[in-house]
Structure 1
Amino acid sequence: MPRLAFTTFAIMKKPYGDPVVHGFEALTPAVFRKAEESAGFIARAREIDDRDELTNFERDWGPWGKFAVPRFYDGGFETAQDTRASTVSLWASVDAVRQFAYSGLHQRALQQREKWFRKPAWPTYAMWWVDDAHTPSWGEACQRLEHLHDYGPSAYAFDFSQVFAAQDRTPEKVI
């Protein structure tokens, strides 16, 4: 049965550890817990080696592959200059992602995003269908997000404005 791959990407106003983004950093663990407890959640990219001295770019992400960022990223690659916030996850359905993203704690965090993040000139998320045995990589997530930015929604990468069905890859009715 196909699963939905979902990626998010944003650039913070300041690097991790700066008081400007403290509220975002403080909410992140609880938001991840809520995602993992959500109906339809399957898995998310998690580092295997989480030693503090390693950057996300140096950590081992196991089946999610080498950490990568889309071409929109213009921040640093060392922890003290890292301004990106990104995720890759797997879900059972578009509705499951939508329910998580636009309700509860995550919705409250979204309502505060202008305090923490730069206004994007690119999509902040993308989704696409994958086979049951496939784990999307960080690099794949970047390609899908960039494709959505360059060409708009398609079966290759889409957003909530035009959802594509896993089975026939035709646009579903937008609710």
Structure 2
Amino acid sequence: MRDHHIAELNVARLKHDINDPRIADFVNNLNRVNAAAERTPGFVWRLKDDTGNSVAMAVANDPMVIPNLSVWQSVEALESFVFRTVHKRFYDRRSEWFEVMDRMHFVMWPVPAGHQPTLEEAWQRLDYLNTNGSSDHAFGWDHVATASLWRSARCSGSAA
């Protein structure tokens, strides 16, 4: 599948305003975690604005919902970053900063190599997953037979 990569969208709803001191540890480490992603083997691209991140980009007209959209060479490369780097330390603390969402908040899908998906495209894939369930068009970790690290991280369908 050299002519395709894997795109992923992960959205989270903040418990507090992005400038609230209770979110500071998350905000103060965004550049660190994003830099780790960009150094990870298999990383291709991530959505970012002039500040170097995407937290100010509106999702679903809700300023408390923040997106993370990126492209990876493979699911395995993404899985390794999420669960085997500094990212895992912040993933384990997600309940401090984010609300539990009532729908899936994470989706992956194949994209042609070189394609940089838009936030609108990614949101449509997430909506498709929530409406139709996992398929090759839009899927979560549970759709990938070789993905196993998410199971030990107790990843679930909610944003807990």
- TM-score for the superposition, normalised by structure 1: 0.75
- Which aligned segments of 4 or more residues in structure 1 are displaced greater than 3 angstroms? 172-175
* 1:2 Cα deviation from its structure 2 partner: 0.3
* 1:133 Cα deviation from its structure 2 partner: 3.4
* 1:162 Cα deviation from its structure 2 partner: 0.7
1:147 partnered with 2:137: no
Residue-pair matches, total? 143
Aligned to 1:28: 30
96, 115, 122: which one aligns with 2:96 = 115
Q: How does 1:13-52 map to 2 (within 5 A)?
A: 13-47=15-49, 49-50=50-51
Report the AA paired with residue 26 of structure 2.
F
Q: Residues 107 and 126 of structure 2 are in contact (CA less than 8 Å); yes or no, is this contact kept in structure 1? A: yes
1:129 partnered with 2:110: yes
CA-to-aligned-CA distance 1:23-81 (integer Å, 9 cap, x gap): 1101211010000000100011122x45xxxx945xxxxxxxxxx524xx6x3xxxxxx
Alignment CA distance shift 1:174-1:8 (3 Å): closer
Unaligned stretches of 5+ residues in structure 1: 58-67, 76-81, 164-171
Same amino acid, percent of matched pairs? 29
What secondary structure, in the 3-state scheme, does the structure 2 residue paired with 1:161 have?
A: helix
Quote the Cα distance in structure 2 between the aligned partners of 1:117 and 1:136: 24
What secondary structure, in the 3-state scheme, does the structure 2 residue paired with 1:31 have?
A: helix
Quote the Cα distance in structure 2 between the aligned partners of 1:134 and 1:173: 24
Alignment CA distance shift 1:111-1:173 (3 Å): closer
1:161 partnered with 2:142: yes
Report the AA paired with residue 133 of structure 2.
G
* 1:156 Cα deviation from its structure 2 partner: 1.1
CA-to-aligned-CA distance 1:105-130 (integer Å, 9 cap, x gap): 11110110111000111222111001
- TM-score for the superposition, normalised by structure 2: 0.82
Asked which structure has the greater CA Rg, the reply is: 1
CA RMSD, Structure 1 to Structure 2 (Å): 1.8
Aligned to 2:71: 90
* 1:104 Cα deviation from its structure 2 partner: 2.3
Alignment CA distance shift 1:116-1:146 (3 Å): same
Alignment CA distance shift 1:174-1:45 (3 Å): closer
3, 11, 14: which one aligns with 1:12 = 14
Aligned to 1:69: 59
Unaligned stretches of 5+ residues in structure 2: 149-160
Alignment CA distance shift 1:24-1:174 (3 Å): closer
